[in-house]
Amino acid sequence: MGMDCLPLNPRVDGFHANWTGWRFLRQALELLGADTSGMSSSNDGNVISRETAQDWSRRLQEGLDTGKLKIVQVPDDSFFGGYRNACSLTSGNPARQHGNAPWLREAIDFFERSGGFQQY
């Protein structure tokens, strides 16, 4: 269960986020000032334009590179592995942040190369 993102660019594989991951992406994008009005909360096939997807990619990457987006692992026994990812705006150390959520790299790459995407 979650959100399957089907790229409009046929040379790019799709991207999947479970609902927790999808909410995390929305939170991170909103913290970074992105327009998430087209981001669906249901699997309805709504389209995110190429321009919006690339803006999301750029904002997430800049957030990591500058340390503005900090991704931390919060202890939570209700999640597999005993923790969940959380994000906040910070002036933290970007080098340390990159490894905390490797799937975020996949999202950044997908948003950049997808040509826009449908949400199912």
Residue indicated by tokens 């040379």: 11
State the total domains in the chain.
1
- pLDDT value of residue 50: 98
Give mean pLDDT, residues 1-30.
Answer: 92
Q: What pLDDT, on the 0 to 100 scale, is given for residue 93?
A: 46
CA of residue 92 relative to chain centroid, distance: 19
> What pLDDT does residue 92 have?
46
> Which residues span the domain enclosing 95?
3-119
- Contact between 17 and 111 (Cβ < 8 Å): no
Q: What is the pLDDT of residues 46-74, one digit of tens each?
A: 999 999 999 999 999 998 888 888 766 67
pTM (2 d.p.): 0.79
Helices (H), strands (E): how many in the chain? Answer: 4, 6
Q: How far apart are CA 32 and CA 42, in angstroms?
A: 23
106: which 2 tokens?
């996949």
- pLDDT recorded at residue 64: 85
Please answer whether residues 96 and 78 qualify as being in contact, where contact means their C-beta atoms are separated by less than 8 angstroms.
no
Task: List pLDDT tens digits, range 83-100.
Answer: 776 666 564 444 344 334
Q: How far apart are CA 44 and CA 46, in angstroms?
A: 6
